[in-house]
Amino acid sequence: MFYEKKENIDKYIKLAQGYDGRALVEILRQFLPEASSVLELGMGPGKDLLILNEFFDCVGSDRFPYFLEIFKEKHPNFKMEVIDALEMNTTFVVDAIFSNKVMHHFSKEELKTSLSNQAQHLTKNGIVAHSFWKGDKNEVIEKTFFQYYLEEELVEIFSHAFEPQVHALYSEMDRDDSIFIIARKKN
């Protein structure tokens, strides 16, 4: 995978300058009380994590430890853990799990597995909030898998373990090229 190499991580951090998930965090705030606990999966350089942390009590995570090492240099006291979003190899239990353009690296079956694993790490009525690229194809770029989704399919997949609350298109690189979905754990 692209992020496995340190030089690619450094390249990605430069490329991602100018992008962040503040608009997504604003939507999340409509569904999650202030000071709730939030785990971010695939925090990358941690831009979204710092925005989330303005409103919530956050834990950062990524599958690749190098991202955590870089973030730790400036934020030594931040709660962080190496977590694979597929396996959810953590003991943290939180009110919400957030990711921004991470789950698209899973196949559709893996996404279902990840979501049911995430449900085990949520408090009662906990929520997940994840973004995806919109489309109906998959591709491999630089040895990295990308699965695109249409809104109806995401709603169907999330409905296995969650009750979808909202799904909205938004624009990242091109008009309406992305989907953000928030769903509540079924009790």
Ligand X SMILES: C[S@@+](CC[C@H](N)C(=O)[O-])C[C@H]1O[C@@H](n2cnc3c(N)ncnc32)[C@H](O)[C@@H]1O
Alpha carbon distance 116, 56 (integer Å): 23
* Residue, CB closest to ligand X: 42
At its nearest, how many Å lie between ligand X and the CB of residue 126? 19
- Chain residues that interact with ligand X, rule: CB under 6 A: 3, 16, 21, 41-45, 47-48, 62-64, 67, 84-86, 100-102, 105
Which of 42, 73, 34 is closest to 60 using CA atoms?
42
Assign residue 121 a region (left: φ > 0; alpha: ψ between -120 and 50; beta: otherwise).
alpha
User: Minimal distance in Å, beta carbon 187 to ligand X?
Assistant: 27
- Residue 41 CB, shortest distance to ligand X, in Å, is 5
Select 74 or 124, whichever has its Cβ closest to ligand X: 74
Closest to ligand X by CB, 62 or 95: 62
3 or 158, CB closer to ligand X? 3
As measured in angstroms, the least distance from the Cβ of 15 to ligand X is 10
DSSP H helices in 40-164: 47-52, 65-74, 108-119, 151-158
Residues present in the chain in total? 187
Measure the CA angle with vertex 151, ends 110 and 179; round to 5°: 85
Distance of CA 23 to the CA centre of its chain: 14
Phi, psi values for residue 177, rounded to 5°? -90, 0
Cβ closer to ligand X: 120 or 124? 120
Give min distance, CB of 176 to ligand X, in A.
Answer: 19
Residue 63 or 134: which CB sits closer to ligand X? 63
